Amino acid sequence: MAKAKAKSSVSKSPAAPAGKVPAKGGTRVAQESGSRSAPIINIGIDREDRAAIAEGLSRVLADTYTLYLTTHNFHWNVTGPHFNSLHAMFMQQYTELWGATDVLAERIRALGHYAPGSYAEFGKIATVPDVPQQPPKAMEMVRILVKGHETVSRIAREFIPVAEQAADAPTADMLTARCTVHDQTAWMLRSLLED
């Protein structure tokens, strides 16, 4: 008698049912990769769960890249009496974000999916707004970045339970670490706005 494949042990959560991450605007980005000549991925996470996790990571990647671009733009275009300190701070922040995009994209690939990497794809799924076309004043830049970091933290936090329920500790740990970075950066930026 052939054994039926065991169903995923992932239980449904209110934010995102197992194996099903709500796509922003109905758009799915995480396309499965591989070929007939490559072995089937067998890392202890079933195909449906890997797809859901890759979809969530794609959204975090899109937001991280958008925030990176905004921060780099502000580094170039900041003016005023706080120029030196903000110019240097923004450079530290965009450098960290740039590194994070690679880590996120490579985790998506390790799960057997292609990482999104075009402005068109990012524009469909990013929650962080695009950088303003007209550079704002320095403290408005800081406000925009606070909101951006808080947004990425919220989006990443939304997908931690999806990874945990699929026993994907590496992704859950990575998203937890990302939340720590974004929460701390938002706090530091917010402190600049206090009287």
Q: For all residues of the chain together, what is the average pLDDT?
A: 86
Confidence of residue 7 (pLDDT cuts 50, 70, 90): very low
Confidence of residue 42 (pLDDT cuts 50, 70, 90): confident
Q: Is the pLDDT of residue 1 over 50?
A: no
DSSP string, 67-130: HHHHHHHHHHH--STTHHHHHHHHHHHHHHHHHHHHHHHHHHHHTTBPPP-SHHHHHHH--SPP
Q: What is the per-residue pLDDT across 20-32, written as a single tens digit (0 to 9) for each? A: 454 454 455 555 5
CA distances from 65 to 42, 71, 72, 148, 195 (A): 30, 10, 10, 11, 31
The CA R_g of the chain, rounded to the nearest whole Å, is: 19
More confidently predicted of 74 and 45: 74
CATH of domain 44-192: 1.20.1260.10
Confidence of residue 195 (pLDDT cuts 50, 70, 90): confident
Q: Is the pLDDT of residue 3 over 60?
A: no
Confidence of residue 102 (pLDDT cuts 50, 70, 90): very high
Q: Is the pLDDT of residue 39 over 80?
A: no
Q: Is the pLDDT of residue 15 over 70?
A: no
Residue 8, pLDDT score: 39
